Amino acid sequence: MEDVMQKSIKASNITFKYDEATIINNITFQIEKNSFITIIGPNGSGKSTLLKLLASNLKPQGGTIVLNDISLTQYSTKGLAMEMAVVPQDTAISYDFNVMDIVLMGRNPHIKRFSKETHHDLEKVKDAMVATNTWHLRDRSINEISGGERQRAIIAKAIAQESKVILLDEPTSSLDIHHQLEVLELLKSINKKQGVTIIAVLHDINLAARYSEEIILLHKGCLVTMGKTEEVLTVEALKKAYAMEMIIDRNPYTGSIQINPISLIKKSNQPQNKRIHLVCGGGTGKGLIQSLVEGGYVVTIGVVNRGDGDWEMASIYKLQMAEELPFSEIGEGTIEKAHRLADAADIIIMTDLPIGWGNLKNLDILYKQLKKGKKVYAFNNKNKFDYTGGKALKKLQLLKESGLIFIEDKEHMLHVLEASV
Ligand SMILES: Nc1ncnc2c1ncn2[C@@H]1O[C@H](COP(=O)(O)OP(=O)(O)OP(=O)(O)O)[C@@H](O)[C@H]1O
């Protein structure tokens, strides 16, 4: 019993259909009080429909939704409005009210029948309008302000309503980046300071990652996963929902996880099984790997250390690799594998990677292929190259004498490859 009381919302096996099409398919989840949760998923996955079900604007054909231990079906309109405010996706309003009148409507559940708003109601309205930066718009017609201003006004109405749950459908969709952050910061602050549960549909995964503590991930009306943001936003889960490869790292400024989608669409009229072996490491080859794979080349990698940026990118594309344990010196078996991969390649490229004692043997791969008469390219080093006290530089000199071709950067390399096809 105690457990149930803690839950703000409990949805059990909810199913919703439009005609014969199942839009929400047997979804079960619980949302704790004071949560900041976002619903994400690709277009048409059922996010808005789920929000409308939670708002009781739609009724599920199967399953139940319980708010604070009471089924949604038991609430009167006013009773539900005391508990829950809704900011819909479409904020267009057909009547020509001024902005303050609209925000004041948020106080309706609190105003007794046939009574007028009190000073307290007006104070609440003003507070909400100041917080959403709409107070200066109070006398303007709701239909004569911008879409972004209207969105903020509707959020002000929801805040003025003083309910313990606010549902929002894409609250930042028509806002510029400044107002997006302002609105999400505001929602975060009322979530933290006033304990208001925020449930928002967001299509921007990075904003969801930055602001929400928990995420519901939908795909074709089914729940892919739900849980703490960092646990839900995994490459696997996102791949399943969005049918795209993504790289996940951390935003160095905000510390929140950051999703970088990678397109896998291969161009058709492209190079035809030409094999390229890439000697890279430490993330110096990430961009090139992506461009080469998307360009239709068969790319092999190595030796790289497991877990580094290039290894991660190559793993996403499932490339053949000669890989070594993290921070380990290249072993005999691994270098042999790298030689075999390079033997099978038409072209060898070395990125702008630093060479230390651990990966010095990688230079031997280049030397062997030069001796075989293959084209071997190396990026002109912009960073420090030699961490072996001169040994790597000596080997580089030998490579130069053996015909190593230097290129400037990734774009230059792609240009050279294109010209040589
Ligand atoms: N009124 C309706 N009648 C019939 N089908 C509908 C209706 N509203 C939505 N749908 C369908 O239900 C599915 C889910 O729509 P929904 O708007 O919930 O998805 P969504 O994830 O919010 O999408 P988006 O990211 O594009 O806003 C879609 O296939 C949509 O075409």
CA separation for the pair 334, 361 (Å, rounded): 10
Answer yes or no: is the C-beta of 46 below 6 A from any ligand 1 atom: yes
Amino acid at 332: E
Beta bridge partner(s), residue 245: 262
Which pTM value belongs to this model?
0.68
pLDDT value, residue 418: 81
Query: What are the structural domains, with CATH classification, of the chain?
Result: 2-261 (3.40.50.300), 275-420 (3.40.50.720)
Distance 24 CA to ligand 1 centre (A): 10
Between the CA of 48 and the centroid of ligand 1 the distance, in Å, is 7
Q: Is 45 in the pocket of ligand 1 (CB under 6 A)?
A: yes
CA distance 62 to 206: 33
pLDDT at residue 38, rounded to an integer: 97
CB of 225 shorter than 6 A to ligand 1: no
Rg (C-alpha) for the chain, rounded Å, is 29
Give the mutation target among 18, 173, 215 for probing the ligand 1 site: most ligand atoms within 8 A of CB: 18
Q: What is the full per-residue pLDDT of the chain (421 aa) written as tens digits?
A: 444 445 589 999 999 999 888 999 999 999 999 999 999 999 889 999 999 999 999 999 999 999 999 999 999 999 999 999 999 887 777 678 999 999 999 998 888 877 888 899 999 999 999 989 999 999 999 988 888 888 899 999 999 999 999 999 998 887 888 889 988 998 998 999 889 999 999 989 999 999 999 999 999 999 999 999 988 988 788 888 887 777 788 888 888 888 888 765 444 455 667 899 999 998 899 889 988 987 889 999 999 999 999 999 899 888 999 999 998 899 999 999 999 999 999 999 999 999 999 999 999 999 999 999 999 999 987 788 999 999 999 999 999 999 999 998 888 898 888 877 6
- Torsional class of 272: left (φ above 0), alpha (ψ -120 to 50), beta (otherwise): left
Question: What is the DSSP annotation of 116-185?
Answer: ---HHHHHHHHHHHHHTT-GGGTTSBGGGS-HHHHHHHHHHHHHHTT-SEEEEESTTTT--HHHHHHHHH
Buried b / exposed e across 203-228, counting CB within 10 Å, b at 16+?
A: bbbbbbbbbbbbbbbbbebbbbbbee
Measure CA of the first residue to CA of the last residue in the chain; give whole Å: 70
Structure tokens at 171: 């609250």
What is the 49 CA–ligand 1 centroid distance (Å)?
6
Residues 191/113, Cβ–Cβ less than 8 Å = no
Question: Which tokens hold the place of 208?
Answer: 């969801």
Q: What are the CA-CA distances from residue 394 to residues 332, 375, 390 (Å)?
A: 22, 20, 6
Q: What is the pLDDT of residue 1?
A: 41
Ligand 1 centroid to 16 CA: how many Å?
A: 11
Q: Residue 302 in contact with residue 321, Cβ under 8 Å?
A: yes
Residue 253 Cβ < 6 Å to ligand 1: no
pLDDT of residue 143: 87
Per-residue tokens: 173? 């969709």
H/E stretch holding 10 reads strand 7-18
Q: pLDDT value at position 95?
A: 77
Residue 47, ligand 1, Cβ within 6 A: yes
Reported in sequence order, the residue ranges of 235-338 that DSSP labels E, i.e. its strands, are 245-250, 257-262, 275-279, 298-305, 320-324
Pairing mode of beta strands 275-279, 347-350: parallel
Q: What is the pLDDT of residue 3?
A: 44
Amino acid 366: pLDDT: 97
Mutation choice for ligand 1 from 19, 20, 23, CB with most ligand atoms inside 8 A: 23
Q: Is 402 helix (H, G, I), strand (E, B) or coil?
A: coil
Question: Ligand 1 mean position to 44 CA, how many Å?
Answer: 5
What would the DSSP string read from start to end of 378-389? EEPP-S--B-ST
